[in-house]
Amino acid sequence: MGNFDLLMHGFSIAITPTHLMLMVAGVLMGLVVGVLPGLGAPNGVSLLIPLTFALDPTSAIILLSSMYWGALFGGSTTSILFNIPGEPSSVATTFDGYPMARNGESTRALTLAFVSSGVGALMGIMVITLLAGWASQFALKFGAPEYFAVYFLAFAAFIGMGSASPAKTLVSLTTGLILASVGMDTVTGAIRLTYGFSDLLGGVSFLVVVIGLFGIGELLSTVQEGLRFRGVNSKIDLRDVLKTLAELPRYWATTLRSGLIGIWMGITPGGPTAASFMSYGVARQASRKGAAFGTGRPEGIVAPETADHSAGTCAMLPMLALGVPSSATAAVMMGGLMIWGLTPGPMLFATQPDFVWGLIASMYVSNLLGVILVLATVPMFAALLRIPFTIIGPMIVVICFVGAYTVGSATFDLWLVLAFGLVGYVFSKLDYPLAPLILAMVLGHKAENSFHQSMLLSDGSLGIFFANPLVTGIMMVALALLILPKTLGLALSLRRRKEIAP
């Protein structure tokens, strides 16, 4: 069965009354998460996972992914109307979105953002659709050494290609690996790093960690910054929407270029935030009116929004196909799949085609619904930010603690949320990335088990990771990503210094 036939089968699964209702509910909840500072997509998705236990995996992932798209749209809304990025990936949108809104063109700015987001997401979904068949054919070639090589590739890519310093990324990854090893070793049965706390025998729940890091941690940062909401008119004028839609084809080159940047940064561990900043910078350099960027240029909205959503969508491909999430939200979703009894990776396409293609088809529908719903509900969700933060803040705290307690019904988890909230706050203040920590927590057990199995197969020889062309190729790519980007950056920096020096 070809990809088109599989996609049509996926639409038959996705377009049902139940799943359409879940998409609408997910997008609306995501808009709330994106609009309210201190929540964010990773935390919102993690809070929602316990509520999906009563659903089948396909319905659950459709709800979670729809919430993710809604959170991305919500972050754009606050960036343009209030100069407050609800999501980190929406920061670049504030540069031109807010000035355009302040100039009385809020409808134009919002329409440019939302439609560009929808186009970017569509580009990303098309890439997933085209590559999904190849991934399923690739499935049977993977054994324990190949899986470990892929996990090593993910860790190496975060260190070599991440926006943070390699040392800080390594600290974050190491912290996640240590947390993943807490509890009983599944291979030897040894008890590790529990320090006498019986509550830690089952390990540390990654959902509790995510809620603490992204929920309480971001809230502490928001409180310290003394956030004040000052917005502009959020009324949507249908005539301005139609005028802006007619204007969009002028920016086809910016859209295509930014979409490609987002696709690349989504498949690699760059993520939506890096993609939005990179595409904004490239658009500014490519524009003849680059100096006018920051005053309300349309390309300054189209570029980051297109890249943001194409990257966010394409982050699902490595998570589903290789079991390697390239963003914090994808890592949380991958944890949800494992809780539901599904194993992300190449075999998922071969063993669960209904699940995979139902999810891919739902992406097309939910992103279209997202564009429509966000345009229709902008005034309502913008009004949330006129509620004093002294009311919103405690509500977010309650939501985080209720969500954490729901995971395991353990009071100890509430203390862990507080502890990881402080960790998240410190990491944020010191510019340590959180995504590698979450990635390491999700992949830690899988990487360790794959390494154990590989050592058993080879009688303890590391040569098994270079025993065939496939695993050798993956390991060489991983080593190249680990070394080359920073080496080239250092070489370019030294060259610039020599050119500047007299």
Within 10 angstroms of residue 290's Cβ, the number of other Cβ atoms is: 15
pLDDT at 248 over 90: no
Provide the pLDDT for residue 437: 86
pLDDT at 255 over 80: yes
Mean pLDDT of 426-436: 84
The pLDDT tens digits of the residues spanning 280-316 come to 878 877 777 655 777 788 888 999 899 888 988 888 8
> Is the distance from CB of 145 to CB of 454 less than 8 angstroms?
yes
Helices (H), 36-90: 41-48, 57-82
Token readout for 173 is 């990854």
Provide the pLDDT for residue 32: 81
pTM, two decimals, is 0.70
What residue ranges do the domains of the chain occupy? 2-500
Tell me how far apart the alpha carbons of residues 307 and 113 are, in angstroms, rounded to a whole number: 11
Mean pLDDT of 92-120: 85
Q: For helices 252-267 and 271-286, what crossing angle results, to 10°?
A: 150
- How many angstroms separate the first and last alpha carbons of the chain? 66
> Is the distance from CB of 175 to CB of 389 less than 8 angstroms?
no
Q: Is 129 helix (H, G, I), strand (E, B) or coil?
A: helix
Q: Is 381 helix (H, G, I), strand (E, B) or coil?
A: helix
Tell me how far apart the alpha carbons of residues 284 and 292 are, in angstroms, rounded to a whole number: 9
Mean pLDDT of 114-128: 90
Provide the pLDDT for residue 198: 81
> Is the distance from CB of 282 to CB of 231 less than 8 angstroms?
no
pLDDT band at 490, cuts 50/70/90? Answer: low
> Is the distance from CB of 2 to CB of 137 less than 8 angstroms?
no
Q: What is the CA radius of gyration of the chain?
A: 22
> How wide is the angle at C-alpha 338 spanned by C-alphas 333 and 344, nearest 5°?
75
pLDDT at 43 over 90: no
Tell me how far apart the alpha carbons of residues 485 and 479 are, in angstroms, rounded to a whole number: 11
Provide the pLDDT for residue 290: 53
> Greatest CA span in the chain, whole angstroms?
71
Provide the pLDDT for residue 139: 58
Q: Is 184 helix (H, G, I), strand (E, B) or coil?
A: strand
> Is the distance from CB of 325 to CB of 41 less than 8 angstroms?
no
Mean pLDDT of 32-49: 73
Mean pLDDT of 380-390: 65
Question: Mean pLDDT score of the chain, rounded to an integer?
Answer: 80
Q: Is 163 helix (H, G, I), strand (E, B) or coil?
A: coil
Provide the pLDDT for residue 306: 92
Q: Which distant-in-sequence residues (6+ apart) come within 8 Å of 45 by Cβ? A: 64, 67, 68, 329, 332, 333, 336
pLDDT band at 444, cuts 50/70/90? Answer: confident
Provide the pLDDT for residue 491: 55
Highest-confidence range of 230-234, 257-261, 381-385, 487-491, by mean pLDDT? 257-261
Provide the pLDDT for residue 350: 74
CA proximity to 310, closest of 135, 163, 117: 117
Instruction: Return the HEC string of 454-497.
Output: HHHHHCCCHHHHHCCHHHHHHHHHHHHHHHHHHHHHHHHHHHHH
> Is the distance from CB of 92 to CB of 276 less than 8 angstroms?
yes
Provide the pLDDT for residue 267: 77
Q: Comparing 482 with 426, which gets the higher pLDDT? A: 426
Provide the pLDDT for residue 472: 92
Provide the pLDDT for residue 174: 92
Tell me how far apart the alpha carbons of residues 439 and 208 are, in angstroms, rounded to a whole number: 14
Mean pLDDT of 471-484: 85
Q: Which distant-in-sequence residues (6+ apart) come within 8 Å of 487 by Cβ? A: none
What percentage of the chain carries pLDDT values higher than 70?
84
Tell me how far apart the alpha carbons of residues 67 and 421 are, in angstroms, rounded to a whole number: 23
The pLDDT tens digits of the residues spanning 313-349 come to 888 887 887 777 767 777 788 888 887 888 787 678 7
pLDDT at 19 over 70: yes
Where is 168: in which H helix or E strand? helix 166-180
The pLDDT tens digits of the residues spanning 186-240 come to 777 788 888 878 888 888 887 788 778 877 887 787 777 665 555 555 566 677 7
Provide the pLDDT for residue 171: 92
